[in-house]
Amino acid sequence: MNNSPMSRWDYWSDVLASSTTNERALTHGAPVMMITTFVNRSIDLRWHFYWICLVALLGVAVFGDDSCPTPEELAPCTCDGEGLNCMGARTLEEIKKAFNAKFKYGGVRSVWVQGTPLTHLPADIFGNVKSQQFYVEVNNITTIDANAFSASKKTLHTLSLFGNKIKDFPYSGLSIYENLGTLNLGRNLIETIPDNAFNNRNLYAIILAQNKISHIGMNAFSNLPNLGRLEMALNQLVTLGPMSLAFKSHSSSLQVYLSPLVI
Ligand SMILES: *[C@@H]1O[C@H](CO)[C@@H](O)[C@H](O)[C@H]1NC(C)=O
């Protein structure tokens, strides 16, 4: 096992997955032996977990957080155990420079690029830095290359582009992010959602509220087997076309928010 945060996460998901397997065995009438092993094992795991937390806390207290490059390499962006914040950046070059620094584990948990004058997200803006969450919010972004987050193809879980000036969004390019769970495109300038717009197996929440949407293409949300929340309030929808809100299969608790319809 190498030392990156992703593989540590893999380790914990393995631990969790193996306890669910035992649980499944339990519900299928496994022998009592199995139950005691399982209980003992979860107690062991719990202590194990406390120890890891304690050691991690001491580590951070004594050595500081070593996942970040030096402040000089990142300025005007800043970094801590939570992630990388480029709120102070004024140019694309400043952001590119920060993301070209050497990150010990190849990534950070979250990235914030908020309130900058950026108007475009090119493919190479975030370099090879992996992250689970990108909050690129309240800038003046009009165009986005869907490959901007491609180093995070496997890890990207939350993408928020809230409060920009996006009119044309690269819908089909988004399908490379196979673990994307939440997409926030709220308060932008989107007018149309194209046919077959989204194809993301794990996408659970899409926020499209506060745009200028007046047209939703056919089967726009059909290829989202795990969709549970679709927010479209405060748009300019007057009529829905055929198959606009067609769903093949979706989460059993799908909620669609359409009102108020118009600003
Ligand atoms: C975005 O553009 C507007 C109008 O040009 C400007 O007033 C505003 O300050 C810009 N926003 C940022 C975050 O730079």
What are the pLDDT digits (tens) for 135-162? 999 999 999 999 999 999 999 999 999 9
Q: Which atom of ligand 1 is nearest to the CA of 138?
A: 13
Ligand 1 pocket, residues with Cβ under 6 angstroms: 115, 117, 139-140
| CB of 204 closer than 8 Å to CB of 251 | yes
pLDDT at 116: 97
Check whether 23 has a pLDDT greater than 80: no
pLDDT at 261: 62
Rounded distance between C-alpha atoms, residue 224 and residue 6, angstroms: 25
Mean pLDDT score across all residues of the chain: 81
3 state SS of 220:
coil
Rounded distance between C-alpha atoms, residue 65 and residue 59, angstroms: 8
pLDDT at 81: 85
Q: Which atom of ligand 1 is nearest to the CA of 117?
A: 14
Q: Specify the higher pLDDT residue, 20 or 220.
A: 220
**For atom 9 of ligand 1, which residue has the closest CA?**
117
pLDDT at 161: 98
Check whether 26 has a pLDDT greater than 80: no
Check whether 51 has a pLDDT greater than 70: no
Q: What is the 3-state secondary structure (H, E, C) of 13-58?
A: HHHHHHHHHHHHHHHCCCCHHHHHHHHHHHHHHHHHHHHHHHHHHH
Distance 53 CA to ligand 1 centre (A): 43
Q: What is each CA distance from 25 to 11, 34, 55, in whole angstroms?
A: 21, 8, 33
Rounded distance between C-alpha atoms, residue 185 and residue 209, angstroms: 8
Mean pLDDT of all residues in 45-49: 59
Check whether 17 has a pLDDT greater than 80: no
Tell how far CA 96 is from the center of its chain.
20
pLDDT at 111: 96
Distance 169 CA to ligand 1 centre (A): 20
| CB of 117 closer than 8 Å to CB of 139 | yes
Please spell the DSSP secondary structure of 225-253, one letter per residue.
Answer: TT--EEE--SS------TTTT--SS--TT
Check whether 38 has a pLDDT greater than 70: no
Question: In which band, very low, low, confident or very high, does the pLDDT at 249 lie, cut at 50, 70 and 90?
Answer: confident
Angle at 184 between CA 173 and CA 113, to 5 degrees: 90
pLDDT in tens, 150-206: 999 999 999 999 999 999 999 999 999 999 999 999 999 999 999 999 999 999 999
| CB of 96 closer than 8 Å to CB of 127 | yes
Mean pLDDT of all residues in 66-71: 86
pLDDT at 242: 87
Task: Determine how β-strand 192-193 pairs with β-strand 215-216.
Answer: parallel
